[in-house]
A and B are shown apart, each in its own frame.
Chain A
Amino acid sequence: GQSLEQPSEVTAVEGAIVQINCTYQTSGFYGLSWYQQHDGGAPTFLSYNALDGLEETGRFSSFLSRSDSYGYLLLQELQMKDSASYFCAVQSGGYQKVTFGTGTKLQVIP
């Protein structure tokens, strides 16, 4: 089966940089995604990595190493509104079979 590990909670200061790591075990790996979910809201897509390397989208970047079964989400210039839960998700086994991690709750403090 598939399994993902990510820290349960992270606290960071406004304006700083934070990295949220994700390690996974899966067969038939297609790609690693990241989603953001605010309390009471629905998950929203942040990024997707299918190949090794760094993908940058504004203040957010995501990295993947397929050989290490590891990825991370990097958030720069943290803002209070970035306080949310962040989920990594593995797409594997074809089609849209997506397995989510249990999420990392990020708290941004002044």
Chain B
Amino acid sequence: KAGVTQTPRYLIKTRGQQVTLSCSPISGHRSVSWYQQTPGQGLQFLFEYFSETQRNKGNFPGRFSGRQFSNSRSEMNVSTLELGDSALYLCASTGQGADTQYFGPGTRLTVL
């Protein structure tokens, strides 16, 4: 089975711009979670989608949003980028009833 894929792998944007990141889960997995990872902050939960519905949301401002499509692929969007949004954005997929999250390689976002 192919693993979780994320595109793009690297992205450079300037303050005020918006960005869309994509995640394709493992085939058959319907739950997709997004995390932001910065040095010293660990992985911070952004949101989780299941069957096109957002089930959980972390403590991030409304500039961070996401969606999931009928094929379970997910996108997250960050609008009005700030310097502090520079981070590694990871998505993870989980099979139904399972406890293991399978992570993608991440998208490294740099905001200048």
**Which A residues form the contact surface with B (CB < 8 A)?**
31, 33, 35, 41-45, 48, 50, 87, 89, 91, 93, 95-103
B40 at the A interface (CB under 8 A): yes
Bound complex: CA of A96 vs CA of B35, how far in Å? 12
Instruction: Pick the 10 closest A-B CB pairs, nearest first.
Output: A102-B42, A42-B103, A100-B43, A97-B56, A45-B100, A48-B99, A95-B55, A43-B103, A96-B48, A96-B31
Q: Which of B48, B94, B100 has the most CB of A within 10 A?
A: B100
Asked if A91 and B99 sit within 8 Å, CB to CB, the answer is: yes
Tell whether A100 pairs with B104 under 8 Å between CB atoms, given A42-B90, A95-B56: no
Residues of B within 8 A of A97 (CB): 45, 48, 55-56
A31, A87, A96, A100: which contacts B55 (Cβ < 8 A)? A96
Chain B residues 34 to 80 lying within 8 A of chain A, measured CB to CB, are 35, 40-45, 48, 50, 55-56
Chain B contacts for A41, CB-based, 8 A: 105
Can you report 14 A-B residue pairs in the complex whose CB atoms are below 8 A from each other? A41-B105, A42-B105, A43-B90, A43-B101, A43-B103, A45-B100, A48-B99, A50-B99, A87-B43, A95-B55, A96-B56, A96-B94, A96-B101, A99-B45
Check: B33 CB closer than 8 A to any chain A CB: yes
Q: Is the CB of A102 within 8 A of B41?
A: yes
Cβ-defined contact, A102 with B99, below 8 A: no
Q: Given A95-B56, A96-B48, A101-B42 in contact, is the A45-B35 Cβ separation under 8 Å? A: no
Residues of A contacting B31 in the complex (Cβ-Cβ under 8 angstroms)? 95-96
Closest to B49 in A: A96
Q: Which residue of A has the minimal Cβ distance to B31?
A: A96
A33 to B105, CA, bound (A): 19
Whether A95 pairs with B50 at a CB distance below 8 angstroms is yes
Query: Knowing that A31-B99, A87-B43 are A-B contacts, what are 19 other residue pairs whose CB atoms are under 8 Å apart, sorted by A's residue number?
Result: A35-B103, A41-B105, A42-B103, A42-B104, A43-B43, A43-B92, A43-B101, A45-B101, A48-B100, A91-B99, A95-B31, A95-B48, A95-B50, A95-B55, A96-B33, A96-B101, A98-B33, A100-B43, A100-B45
